Amino acid sequence: MSHPISIFSPRGLAQRIDEGVVRVIDVRSSGEFHKEHIPDSENIPLKSLDGGTLAQLKASKNGCPVCITCQSGVRAEKAAKKMADEGMGNIYLLAGGLDNWTHEGKPTEGAGRKAIPLDRQVRITIGILIIAGCCACYFTEDIRWLAAPAFFGAGLIFSGLTGFCGLARILSFLPWNR
């Protein structure tokens, strides 16, 4: 049975944190989390939310509301749906994620280094590779160079249809994304 998922505004979540009556779980990558996060939040990356982790969360919740957050809210919504499908109740999302939290002037902790988010790294990498392939084709007059832009264009279509991005997985192993 799936439970409803409610939403906290940044102000509402800050009030709950001050009262000590909410558990904040950030589902971004550990690299993103260490750079900047909501004080007293814990990091459980979305890709590690498997059956065992969800069972542990459900057992350790003790009726306390859980607020799920990420950078903008997309990954948090996926995580919250997984939790609700496991039968967890009292689940909240932070409206707009960490972007909205910082926009509202709420405090954050972390190393403070602003890395480019992984989804933007993917777009930049693909853009560079497409331009490089097209330029190589133009300057060498060898049409085989267009295979690279075609490959990455097909990868974007596949990623859009399936939600899986192989390039994002590869880029997540780079040192600045850990």
Q: pLDDT tens, 61-112?
A: 667 889 999 999 899 999 999 988 888 888 999 999 999 999 999 999 987 6
Please report, for the chain, the start and end positions of each structural domain, with discontinuous segments joined by +: 5-103, 118-177
Range name among 13-27, 60-74, 84-98, 149-163 with the lowest pLDDT average: 60-74
Binned at pLDDT 50, 70 and 90, residue 115 comes out as low
Q: What is the 3-class SS of 85-135, one letter each residue?
A: HCCCCCEEEECCHHHHHHHCCCCCECCCCCCCCHHHHHHHHHHHHHHHHHH
For the whole prediction, is pTM greater than 0.75? no
Is residue 93 a contact partner of residue 72, using CB atoms and an 8 Å limit?
no
Distant-in-sequence, close-in-space partners of 121: CB < 8 Å, separation ≥ 6:
168, 171, 177
Catalytic residue among 64, 67, 70, 165: 70
134 is catalytic: no
Q: What is the CATH number of domain 5-103?
A: 3.40.250.10
Binned at pLDDT 50, 70 and 90, residue 1 comes out as very low
